[in-house]
Structures are given as C-alpha cells and as structure tokens.
Amino acid sequence: MDLLTELGPLPEHVTVHLDRGYDSTKTREELTARGLHGAIAQKGKPAPIQAGMRWVVERTNAWHNAHRKLVLCTERRARVIDFWISLTNTIIIVRRLLRQAWTSHRWDTRPVRRP
C-alpha cells in the first residue's frame, strides 16, 4: 500500500530530508520513482540540516546507554532486566529534578557547583 496516495496531491517540488542511515542507492531510486527530491546526509560528512533538538526517544536511549550495566546486560530473567531499567530511569529522573531545583530554588546547604 502506498500511503502517499492517501495524502492527496503533493506540491510540485517536495524535498525529503533524511539522515545518514538512508544514504543508499535503493533509497535514492525509491525517491526518484515517487517524484521526490531527497536531501540525504552522506556518510562521513556533516548533515546539510541540523535538527535543533534530538528526538525524545533518541535522547532517552542515549541516557540509558550511559549506564554501562544496561549496555552490557546479559541477564535472561525479565525481572532483573526490568530492575536495571527502573533503576536507570530513577537515576535519570533524580538528576533531572536536581538540575531543575538548582535553577529554580535556593537552600542553605546548596553545593557551590551545579550538579
């Protein structure tokens, strides 16, 4: 099923901006077959358009990957894996709350250095 037909008529000149993961001949051929122009970042070169912010999922995955235990987890039991994910989420949330409290509140025992 081609979902582009469900959108209705497209403008004459459509540019599709894609990241390096789509830099392949197959993708370029597919865009050409659909009558679209692709601005695809080439591997090894900076992207033509830089996104202002990372997607929430990418950012969260990066935070999870910062905890080496999850990256190197070879555990088979789902309860143990769920524990490590929950612990990592707790650490991420507490750090976020500390940073937010640092900028919006003052307290007597506040550290000199920002967390």
Instruction: Spell out the domain ranges in the chain.
Output: 4-40, 56-104
Rounded distance between C-alpha atoms, residue 14 and residue 73, angstroms: 44
CA-CA-CA-CA torsion sign (39, 45, 48, 50): positive
Q: Per-residue pLDDT for the chain (115 aa), expressed as one digit of tens each?
A: 466 677 777 777 878 888 778 888 898 898 888 888 888 877 777 665 665 555 667 777 788 888 777 777 788 888 988 888 898 899 889 988 888 888 787 777 777 776 6
